[in-house]
Chains A and B, each alone.
Chain A
């Protein structure tokens, strides 16, 4: 299929092309499951779960194969079990987690939950790919004897959880939220309103987000920061974010992380950048440290989408003046940052055919959004431009896309002729 860049730069909705890309991932997951070799597994009734999964096709299994838990299970399998020796306890855990998927499928289809498993390190058993879980006795136990409970859901099929072992084991960038009942209820309320507001502004991105995202993990909000968020290549369909009372901020965060997730799924079908270009790291307009070309591309895509949403939101709603100004500044900053990232991409990268169309489309949409800021106060635009220039002066190697290392700055001070135009400040 010839990918249409206009459906990926911004949301195109749940189209046949969207489904085709998801289907590639689904088929890859199924092929990996079919290749699972249990010959080194410890004694136990492990085959039942794997056989049930492999022999029960249908829409319920298709959905399961695209669950972030499945993504992470397959990642753990490749990393620890496919070619390296593992301990008996590790095998037991990995295969019990697999029984969780089989049990989820069976529950959805109304089939018996006759699978044997061991509890996870927290003493629980999750029916991964569903909102069901249970406190588990010492193993081995039969899943059909467990008293199932239900996880909270933001929407049907979109669970909110921070305890399921397989879902949070890979969440390493930030601390988990550890929300009590009241805090969790508020977290879900605000996010739910954010998604409704998202739909009002752009129903296509809401449709995509709800189709792909299956899990929200609450994170702890660090001191001195308004919010944190993350998503992971090995956990596609999961968004991790901390609580904020602002529905606009939560929508911005959801869009940002969802865009990364969407790109991670797309990159499995087309890498956008030709292979062999991962050697150098580059100046990132969003961070003090450097990033590879892929990071710049994902950042440009995510922040362009964020800027577009914020611009549409402030055009439609009347905020308090302070909030309006903050949002306009946010939009302007993002546009200049995206511009810098795209500049580096066009300087240094070689793209696939689709990658070039996609990146040119990003550049074109950036141009359109600049027009959308013509009504912003001039002083605000100037402030945004100055902020991005200050960041560049601090972290970039003059007008290149390279990152400026601290060691080099020291050297330049000692050898002034190495620095065109004189000694570095």
Chain B
């Protein structure tokens, strides 16, 4: 997303979920340089949103406690092997056969799967691994439109889908 698209997206997210004041986040965004932005949608919508600049600078805003976390990316990429994921092996193999996975990514907060090619949101939702998002899929569709999922992130039981 361009910064303008990012701001429009944020406005749509705030209008949809009414998370609480987001001024601190907006003030920080106004000071940041131009770049390529991504936004993350979660499978359990609420007062939290994530934005990422140029794949490196991560903003994690929780409006319910007015906490903004800013961090650089320290994730390590490794080859994707479904057999390493225990009971998730079957569903991840099915996912990989439909949309090949470039790598798995790990850091302190969780782990991610990065598809070789970004997956359009409506095609993303049909996947078994996207089941957590489908309860709110109609509303999320208006945030995601035809954007593409670049990364699926697992943080404990919470799922995030990064959109370009």
Contact = CB atoms under 8 A, between A and B. Distances in A.
B98 interface: yes
Contacts of B94: 274-276
B141 A397 contact: yes
Contact of A418 (B98, B133, B142): B142
Interface in A381-415: 397, 400, 402-405, 407-408, 411-412, 415
Contact of B123 (A348, A418, A419): A348
A279 B128 contact: yes
B137 interface: yes
A280 B125 contact: yes
Contact of B16 (A280, A405, A415): A415
Nearest to A397: B138
Contacts of A350: 98
Contacts of B123: 348
B43 to A, nearest CB: 11
A275 B90 CA distance: 10
Interface in A222-258: none
A281 interface: yes
A184 interface: no
A347 B146 CA distance: 13
Interface string B126-164: 111111011001110110000000000000000000000
A170 interface: no
Contacts of A412: 142
B98 A280 contact: no
Interface in B1-53: 12, 15-16
B55 interface: no
A51 to B, nearest CB: 36
Given A274-B98, A276-B94, A279-B131, A405 B126 contact: no
A349 interface: yes
Given A276-B94, A279-B131, A418-B142, A348 B122 contact: yes
Nearest to A420: B142
Contact of A280 (B91, B97, B126): B126
Contacts of A276: 91, 94-95, 97-98, 127-129
Contact of B128 (A277, A400, A402): A277
Contacts of A408: 138-139, 142
A66 B122 CA distance: 40
B126 A418 contact: no
A407 B17 CA distance: 12
Please report whether the interface of chain A is mostly helix, strand, loop or mixed according to DSSP: loop
Interface in A57-88: none
Contact of B139 (A293, A348, A407): A407
B66 to A, nearest CB: 23
A348 B16 contact: no
B115 to A, nearest CB: 13
B139 A402 contact: no
A422 interface: no
Contacts of B128: 276-279
Contacts of B91: 276
Contacts of B16: 411, 415, 418
B154 to A, nearest CB: 15
Contacts of B130: 279-280
A277 B126 CA distance: 5
Contacts of A419: 142
B141 A402 contact: yes
A398 to B, nearest CB: 9
A279 B99 CA distance: 15
Contacts of A418: 12, 15-16, 142
B126 A293 contact: yes
A410 to B, nearest CB: 10
Contacts of B131: 279
B134 A281 contact: yes
A171 to B, nearest CB: 30
Given A276-B91, A277-B98, A348 B126 contact: yes
A417 interface: yes
Nearest to B127: A279
Interface in B87-112: 91, 94-95, 97-98
Which of B125, B129, B137, B139 has the most chain A CB atoms inside 10 A of its CB?
Answer: B137
A402 B137 contact: yes
Given A279-B128, A281-B134, A415 B97 contact: no
Contacts of B126: 277, 279-280, 293, 348-349
A225 to B, nearest CB: 30
Contact of A400 (B15, B95, B97, B141): B141
A404 B142 CA distance: 11
A293 B134 CA distance: 14
- Closest 4 pairs (CB-CB, A-B): A276-B94, A408-B138, A415-B15, A280-B125
14 contacts: A276-B129, A277-B98, A277-B127, A277-B128, A279-B128, A279-B131, A280-B137, A348-B122, A397-B141, A403-B138, A404-B138, A408-B142, A411-B16, A418-B15
Given A277-B127, A397-B141, A408-B138, 7 more contacts: A274-B98, A276-B97, A277-B128, A279-B128, A348-B123, A415-B15, A418-B12
